[in-house]
Structure formats: structure tokens, C-alpha cells
Amino acid sequence: MSHLIDNTPSTPGKLKPDKSSYIHNRFRIHSSSFSKLTLWCLFFIAFVIFFFFLSLLSTTTPSNSAAASNRRSLGATWGGSAWEKRVTKSSRRATASNRAVLVTGAAGFVGMHVSLALKRRGDGVLGLDNFNRYYDLNLKLARQKLLERAGVFVVDGDINDAALLRKLFDVVPFTHVMHLAAQAGVRYAMQNPASYVHSNIAGFVNLLEACRSANPQPAIVWASSSSVYGLNSKVPFSEKDRTDQPASLYAATKKAGEEIAHTYNHIHGLSITGLRFFTVYGPWGRPDMAYFFFAKDILKGKQISIFQDPDRGTVARDFTYIDDIVKGCLRALDTAKKSTGSGGKKKGPAQLRIFNLGNTSPVPVSELVMILEKLLKVKAKRKMVPMPRNGDVRFTHANISLAYTELGYRPTTDLETGLKKFVRWYLDFYPGSKKKSAW
């Protein structure tokens, strides 16, 4: 099976709504709708404030104390001449025309790949990661070792540590920040909602504060999410579509991040580009993603659950291969204009952008499983189950016309090709998982 990508982004005509009625409905505003909008805005603000203070209070709970202890066990200390030398060396640019980039979440899936790509082309790269235990820490440490071999130092620290961020900006005059750190995952928000506000809202604000105070101010590229489209039923998803109906707390924090970015751009002159990623997959990926744990469970002979929508159709995703995402990230960074502030004060209008980075070819999850069966040479034990109300949505589909025009973004990897590379990595990284064919 092969899903080859056309040279231009796909925009299926049969799924397009009537343009005139869409515009009419989108911009009809009268007094009652305005009051409803005001009420919802106040509710959302109160919601965010509540969880923000909850996240602050939770720092004294046993579970968070344990997490802090875990970070300390990793040697989460910073400062001193030897530490500063490592920071400076890692951030050193090959030439004056290269960039000095701070990559947050560098030990994460996308963060590692972006850091390596930046380093390969001669940019100075410094990583920052708190090595939390949302998923297997050994995988993050393995990514860190790969980065170290490439000459990228990953500082063990948190974006909520204001003193650490100030120190990093004092030591290195970063030209750019690639902000990829976040509490990921839609379903985990049901268990630990405060962690999402702590990382995705409070942590983002803390980072923006450090950037606005820096001299020079860096340009910022950061990871939003396709989840901001929430319950939007218009496909493919366009940057102009409504994003005020999040289906999960994760989506709500990413939408809040977009509004916060607008504020810091407007007030402080920070150049900010947001990227809405669509279901990123590939080698060194996240174990909480379906393609990853499907492969794991298929090899173990375990039953896998495939979600169905109420009409008994399978869920579909716009799976986007990691190499295509990395290219989009680098193009966003390369086209980012300079921030216009100095000492926290805005001196002129600054660039503010948002782009979809997807593959434009949604694939049913049942088809994903078929490809994995073929590559693993093992028959999956399937169970079709109703889609739970835990924040998941039925489908995602990116309209990448804007990224195509302004960034030159053009994904080239179909799902089978990408999964083949993932499976090869998976079997190499987890050698004990190999299983004889059950066909």
C-alpha cells in the first residue's frame, strides 16, 4: 500500500462546505451571541486560573515531590564554570551566519530530531529537558546520548525554573528558541490535569518572560497542536478555521498558548511562529502513540483496541513522518524575522504566524494496523471498541496550503514508507521484541 503525496497540498472538494453560507454563519454577530461569547471567555479564563493555582499547590504533594526527587537523581543541577563551558561549547555556531538555538524538550521525540538537524547544518544548539517520567525514561536518556555524541549538550532543567532560563540567556545570546517542551498526550489529562497547565501554560509564560527580557530578544518557533481544532467538522483543517471548541484539556492548553503568544507578540514585540503538528510518527517516537504501542502489543500477541465512531467507522489520522516535520520546523525557523523589542519594550510590529504541518492524507487507523501486520509479519488480534469520551477526536486532516506557500513545506513520506523505517528502528532498539510470523 502506498500513499504518495502530490506536489501540491490536497484540498478535497467534496468535503468543502458552501463558502458563502460558511462565511455568513462565521461572521453573524448579534447581541445574544456576543453575550454568550463573553460568558464563555470568562469561564475559560477562570478555568485556566483555577488549574494554574492548582498546579502551584500541587508542587508540595507527595507525587510531585517524588518527581522532583527523580529529577535530582538525574543530577538536575546547573551552574559553575565547567557547566558554563559545556553550555557555551554546545551553542557555538560553525559560522557567523549560522544560528544559536535553544531547543526545549530536546530529549523528546521531535526535540531530538530537530536538534540533530540543526547541529548537522552548523547551528549552535543547546538542549533543555526536565526528563520527566510521563513515559519510559530510558528512551529519553538514549536520545540524550545520541545528542551528546553529536555535540549537543542537554541541560537537565525545567522551563518553569526562571533562574535557570535567565542564566542560560546570560551565558548565550540565543538568536532563536525552538520551544518543543510540553506535557503531551490527550488521555493523560484525565489523570493529571494540573501537569498540563504547569507545563503548557505556566512553563510557556515563564519561557516568554525570559525571551522578552533577553537582549537581543530571540525569535521563537513553538509547537502548538492539531488538537486545537477540537470538534471542528470542516475538513481539511485550515488555520482560518475556528479553534474555540477543544475536545480535551491538552487541546485547551495549546489553544491558550496561541492566545498567550499573541499577547507577548503584541505587547513585547516577540517574533513568534506556532506550528500545529498532525500526528507525528517515526523512529525514536513516543510510546504513548497508537502506532508505537500497536507494534509492541502485536509482537507480544496481545489484543489491540481500535476505536470506532458512533457510525461504526474507524478513526482516521493525518499521520506525518518525523523527517517532514523537522523540515517544516527548520523552514519556520529560517523564515522567522527578528523580534522588535529591547529590554522588554516593543519598538515596532513583530512577526506572528501559525502553520499546519501535516501530510494531507488521512488514513484510517484500521489501515495503519494492516500496514504494521505486513511489516512485522504478525497477525494482529483486533478488537473494535466505541471511541471513549476522553478527548480523542474522530479524524484529523491538515490543509497545508499556507505552509506550502510561505515555508515551502512539502511532505514526501507516505505512511507505509515511514512505518517501515519505524519498524526497523523498533526491532533494533528493542531486540527482544522480535516474534516469529503468525501468518
pLDDT band, very low/low/confident/very high, at 109 (cuts 50, 70, 90):
very high
- Report the candidate in 219, 124, 213, 125 with the shortest Cα–Cα distance to residue 176: 219
Which pLDDT belongs to residue 30?
A: 44
For 173-212, the DSSP string reads: --SEEEE------SGGGGT-HHHHIIIIIIHHHHHHHHHH
| Mean pLDDT within 300-315 | 82
pLDDT above 70 covers what percent of the chain?
79
Long-range CB pairs of 11-15 (<8 Å, 24+ gap) are: 11/236, 11/399, 11/401, 12/235, 12/236, 15/235, 15/236
> Where is pLDDT greater, at 437 or 411?
411
- Cell numbers placing 25: 454563519
Give the mean model confidence (pLDDT) for residues 5-29.
Answer: 40
Domain 182-278+321-358+393-412: give its CATH architecture. Answer: 3-Layer(aba) Sandwich (3.40)
Position 83 pLDDT exceeds 90: yes
The stretch 289-301 carries a mean pLDDT of 96
Distance of CA 376 to CAs 130, 131, 315, 420, Å? 34, 30, 22, 9
Q: Any idea which of 65-69, 155-159, 288-292 has the lowest mean pLDDT? A: 65-69
Average pLDDT of the residues of the chain:
85
State pLDDT tens for residues 324-362: 999 999 999 999 999 999 877 899 999 999 999 999 999
| Closest C-alpha to 250, from 277, 270, 268, 271 | 277
Residue 359, Cβ neighbours under 10 Å: how many? 30
pLDDT band at 403 (very low <50, low <70, confident <90, very high): very high
Query: In angstroms, rounded to a whole number, what is the distance separating the alpha carbons of residues 144 and 286?
Result: 15
- β-pairing, 341-342 vs 345-346, is antiparallel
Please state whether 354 falls in left (phi above 0), alpha (psi between -120 and 50) or beta. Answer: beta
Laid out side by side, the sheet with 153-156 consists of 153-156, 124-129, 100-104, 176-179, 219-223, 272-277, 352-357
- Of 246, 189, 228, 198, which Cα lies nearest the Cα of 64? 198
Instruction: State mean pLDDT over 34-57.
Output: 49
The three-state secondary structure class of 274 is strand
pLDDT of residue 308: 78
How many degrees, rounded to 5, is the angle at CA 86 between CA 80 and CA 90? 145
Neighbouring CB atoms inside 10 A of 242's CB total 12
Q: What is the pLDDT of residue 23?
A: 35
Q: Which residue has the higher pLDDT, 395 or 420?
A: 420
- Do 58 and 194 touch, CB atoms closer than 8 A? yes
For residue 13, pLDDT beyond 70: no
Read off the pLDDT band of 310 (50, 70, 90): low
Q: What is the pLDDT of residue 249?
A: 94
pLDDT value at residue 19: 40
Q: What is the pLDDT of residues 130-153, one digit of tens each?
A: 999 999 999 999 999 999 999 999
The distance from CA 217 to its chain's CA centroid, rounded to whole angstroms, is: 23
Predicted structure pTM score: 0.83
Confidence of residue 28 (pLDDT cuts 50, 70, 90): very low
For residue 307, name the pLDDT band (cuts at 50, 70, 90). Answer: confident
Rg of the chain taking only CA atoms, in angstroms? 22
Report pLDDT for 189.
86
* Mean pLDDT (whole number) for 68-91: 75
pLDDT of residue 122: 98
pLDDT at 73 over 60: no
Residue spans of the domains in the chain: they are 182-278+321-358+393-412
Write out pLDDT tens, residues 233-263. Answer: 888 999 999 999 999 999 999 999 999 999 9
- Residue 396 identity (one-letter amino acid): T
Reported as a pLDDT band with limits 50, 70 and 90, residue 46 is low
The pLDDT assigned to 309 comes to: 73
pLDDT value of residue 390: 57
Question: Any bridge partners for residue 223, and if so which?
Answer: 275
The closest of 4, 156, 181 to 83, measured between CA atoms, is 156
User: What local confidence, expressed as pLDDT, does residue 39 receive?
Assistant: 52
Identify the band that residue 385 occupies on the pLDDT scale cut at 50, 70 and 90: confident
CA distances to 41, 193, 259, 330, 403 from 337, in Å: 31, 35, 20, 13, 16
How far apart (Å, rounded) are the C-alpha atoms in residues 197 and 348?
31
Among all residues, which ones are annotated catalytic? 250
Is it the case that residue 5 has pLDDT exceeding 50? no
Q: Count of CB atoms within 10 A of residue 96's CB?
A: 5
78-82, 229-233, 287-291: which range is least confident on average? 229-233
